Amino acid sequence: MVRISKANSINKKASINLAMSTIVMVIIGMVMLTAGILLMKTFITGAEEIKDQLDAQTESELERLLLDQGAKVALPLHTVTMEAGEDHIFGVGILNIDSTLYNDEFSLELTFSKLIDENSLEVEGANDIEILSWLLYNTETMIIEENEHKSEAIYVGVPEDATKGTYIYNVYVYYDDDDTGKTKYDSVKKLYVAVE
């Protein structure tokens, strides 16, 4: 009899430990879910604030290039000099000149081209993924009707430990071609971020 009650006692303790472990796992899961939701909200809010910061001067210059000069893609003020730890917002404008030829779905994509050091030499082995992580821009498909234009912000946040030099980015605008998929809309544009 005594042995049976000891076994029951051990089983009860094991059941309590298992129940406590399950509760702890549920609590940890809830904390991680909440942290993920808050992080996503921070990113979305940050992106909206950046878009609102596209200043009036850049907007008017984009409009002038797109409408007055008929450029399909405009990237005025494409060079900036800044300290490590600073940030900057560029503006890019897209004008749909012909919906029958280009449809009305456009997308923006940036790639890292190269890093030129202070001695005007190309730096080999620059971490493309890390350098691209400095950028924040709209990656969603944009609807732009014929003869309409859209301005998009490109945020660049240079970290404190960035290597000094000029970072060159390629800016591509694509239109959605029904036959071939994503097709380049205009020639590649360049962004130059000089870090001092």
Last residue within a domain, chosen from 33, 52, 71 = 52
- Looking at the structure, tell me whether residues 144 and 125 fall in a common domain: yes
pLDDT one-digit tens code per residue, 57-110 = 666 666 666 656 678 998 887 889 999 999 888 888 898 988 888 989 999 999
Q: Same domain, yes or no, for 31 and 60?
A: no
Residue 172 has φ and ψ, to the nearest 5°, of -115, 140
Domain end (from 52, 67, 91): 52
Percent of the chain with pLDDT over 90: 32
Q: Are residues 3 and 72 in the same domain?
A: no
The SS3 call for residue 3 is helix
Q: 97 and 124 share a domain? A: yes
193 within 8 A of 88, measured Cβ to Cβ: yes
Mean pLDDT of 139-161: 90
For the whole model, what pTM was predicted?
0.67
Nearest of 64, 123, 66 to residue 95 by alpha carbon: 66
Same domain, 69 and 141: yes
Q: Mean pLDDT, to the nearest integer, of 16-20? A: 73
More confident residue, 119 or 14: 119
Tally of domains within the chain = 2
**How far does Cα 196 stand from its chain's mean position?**
23
Residue 87 shares a structural domain with residue 124: yes
Sheet holding 73-74: strands in order across? 73-74, 87-95, 149-157, 135-137
pLDDT of residue 90: 87
Q: Which residue type occupies 12?
A: K
CATH for 78: 2.60.40.10
Are 119 and 170 members of one domain? yes
Which pLDDT score, from 0 to 100, does residue 2 have?
46
Q: How many CB atoms lie within 10 A of CB 148?
A: 13
State the residue range of the domain holding 27. 1-52
Q: How many CB atoms lie within 10 A of CB 66?
A: 22
* pLDDT over threshold 90, residue 116: yes
Q: For 73-103, b where at least 16 C-beta lie within 10 A, e where not — what string?
A: bbbbebebebeeebeebbbbbbbbeeeeebb
Same-domain pairing of 38 and 127: no
**Does 188 share its domain with 95?**
yes
